[in-house]
A and B are shown apart, each in its own frame.
Chain A
Amino acid sequence: MKYLNVFIGLAALLVNQAAAAAGHSLLTELQTEHVDVTMTFTGSDTLIYGALSRPGDVIIKVTSPNISVDLTHKKAIGPFWLDSGKLTVRHTPGLYYLMSSRPINKLLPARDQLKYGLHLQDALKQAQVDAAAARAMGNWQKAFLDLKQDTGLFRELPHAVKLVEKRLFSATIELPANIPLGTYHLDIYLVQNGRIISHQTRNLEVNQVQLEHWVANAVNQHSWLFGIAFTIFALFLGLTLGMALRRGSDS
């Protein structure tokens, strides 16, 4: 960890000088541009750091690709609590992080917050739902946002971006295990005196690799072939294992 801090310091210093030389007011760098979802994936931390040529605050918005999810609602029917009704919510980011060096509502006026999508509810801007099913669901937007926050897929982190002398910044993007795959967009904003004065974007690729990729691909693209081959494999595995054990205990 100490090593990492020194590394960040040096890197940031270099970036800072480069920034000044190039005339940009914000330069950013990602520790890695690839997050590999392997068989033992239990989440990952990615460091983002950079330099500000002008003092200010930093906001980082992390958006995953859009996915579809089912929202189900339990109702009491007689003595039983049953799933009654389901709403498919399409076109919402699977993950939405708002990280900043200070609470966003202290940094920007409401109009700008809305414009740049800096509230968690802005994740629902493009959401598509069946109108009739949505009416039967009650306040589904609130339920959706609450659940997303409970599972850590939507996060508002008003102190996650660390500033050094208002010139360097760093933040750790903590991704949980059950994240959607694809290209994540990172929007990094430099804020000064209630205005966004610089904006940078970065991409982070989250993909299944190795066996995990191969398996997910087989299951979804060649489902019948996978199903039959896997069943036969399970049959022979069970048979071989069972017979080996039996023979082992007989002798």
Chain B
Amino acid sequence: MDIFLPIAHMDVNLLLILSFGLIVGLLSGLVGVGGGFLITPLLIFTGVPPLVAVATGSAQIVGTSAAGSYAHWRLGNVDFKMAILLLLGSWTGGGIGVFVARALQQSGQFGNIVTFLYVVLLGIIGISMLIESVNAIRRHTGASTGSASKPQDKKGWMEKLPMQMSFPVSNLQLSIIIPLVLGVGVGVLTSLMGVGGGFIMVPIMIYMLKMPTKVVVGTSLFQLLFTTAVVASMQAGINHAVDPFLALSLILGSVLGTHWGTLMGVRLPAEQLRLVLALVVVGVAVKMLWGLLVTPDQLYSLSVLLQ
């Protein structure tokens, strides 16, 4: 079952792409994280040009996170004031990132930068998940979400920032600089890596900003949906790098996968699942690092220019 991808300009096995979506969706449904940071490396391993993989990855997240965002919005779990400020930041960051991606692509450095970013990012996420899940299994306490109600000790410097604003939904007082800066960072990552950025956003919101966990999940999903939507439009508009057939196959697979994952997750032990995901993430990081360290068979490579 091969299909010809008009933008990546290659033929791929449709079932392979569907199963990428399915597996990553399954993992994210089981564990409750977005899977953007696994889709892009898998596409690059398949031979999709890095810029097309990153741009198509962000379009895939739009489709995958839409239903979840809607559900949380209906439940009232979105802090809109916070989300709008985050979005103002992430749209700016995303816009900058798209142009940076174009400049890097033109100078031939995009592949290097993406690989390095992924090795570092997946390395950090994977190892910290690994440590956390091993500890959790050792303690064998059952609860894996961690305690959100620690005493407020690290908030000192944040309170000194100007432009404080109150966020009634999250029940906190915060300088608007913080969500704006956080948004810019996440937006740049979306453009350069094709990820939603939930894995950075969620811990910062929970541990640094002390937002209630329920609101964190809804707000970060809402914000990453509209960040990836704008970044995907810009990647298509400026870099012509979103492959529609690839994106649709991934969305189909991952929506199904997420759904089944969520159903199965209720019955499966959470710590062991986190361990599996941690091992997958570390594995992908190691494979990417290996690609940088091992002497390549071919020192030269050819690529057809994107129009």
Contact = CB atoms under 8 A, between A and B. Distances in A.
B176 interface: no
B11 interface: yes
A65 to B, nearest CB: 12
Contact of A227 (B112, B233, B295): B233
Given A70-B108, A72-B108, A249 B259 contact: yes
Interface in B225-244: 225, 229, 232-238, 240, 242, 244
A88 interface: yes
A37 B4 contact: yes
A66 B283 CA distance: 41
Interface in A213-228: 215-216, 219-220, 223-224, 226-228
B292 A81 contact: yes
B112 A71 contact: no
B59 A230 contact: yes
B64 A238 contact: yes
Nearest to B226: A235
A227 B232 contact: yes
A114 interface: no
Contacts of A42: 2, 4, 11
A194 interface: no
A177 B2 CA distance: 10
A73 B307 contact: no
Contacts of B252: 241
A208 interface: yes
B75 to A, nearest CB: 13
A11 interface: no
A241 B295 contact: no
Given A72-B108, A82-B112, A242-B259, A178 B10 contact: yes
A72 B110 CA distance: 12
A230 B240 contact: no
B296 A223 contact: no
A39 B252 CA distance: 18
Given A69-B302, A249-B259, A83 B62 contact: no
A21 B214 CA distance: 87
B147 interface: no
Contacts of B11: 41-42, 177-178
Contact of A249 (B10, B225, B263): B263
Nearest to A176: B11
Contact of A216 (B6, B63, B263, B294): B6
Given A83-B111, A223-B240, A70 B303 contact: yes
Interface stretch (A54-62, A142-150, A157-165, A197-205): A142-150
A148 B302 CA distance: 8
Interface in B203-242: 225, 229, 232-238, 240, 242
Interface string A62-84: 00000111111111100111110
Interface residues of A, number: 62
A237 B63 contact: yes
A80 B307 contact: no
Contacts of A166: none
A86 interface: yes
A238 to B, nearest CB: 3
Contacts of B229: 231-232, 235
Contact of A147 (B63, B64, B302, B307): B302
B67 A246 contact: yes
Contacts of B238: 223
A205 B235 CA distance: 31
A137 B68 CA distance: 49
Given A80-B292, A219-B240, A243-B67, A72 B303 contact: yes
Given A69-B304, A177-B10, A249-B263, A238 B255 contact: yes
6 contacts: A144-B302, A177-B2, A215-B245, A220-B240, A224-B237, A246-B67
Given A80-B292, A230-B59, 17 more contacts: A42-B11, A72-B300, A88-B305, A94-B304, A178-B9, A215-B6, A220-B240, A223-B237, A231-B232, A234-B66, A234-B232, A235-B63, A235-B225, A238-B66, A238-B251, A242-B255, A246-B259
Interface of A: 37-42, 67-76, 79-83, 85-86, 88, 94, 140, 143-144, 146-148, 150-151, 177-178, 180, 208, 212, 215-216, 219-220, 223-224, 226-228, 230-232, 234-239, 241-243, 245-246, 249
Interface of B: 2-4, 6-7, 9-11, 59-60, 62-68, 70-71, 107-109, 111-112, 225, 229, 232-238, 240, 242, 244-245, 247-248, 251-252, 255-256, 258-259, 263, 292-296, 298-305, 307
Query: Which 10 A/B pairs are nearest by Cβ-Cβ distance?
Result: A242-B67, A227-B236, A86-B108, A238-B63, A238-B66, A143-B300, A224-B237, A239-B66, A227-B233, A234-B63
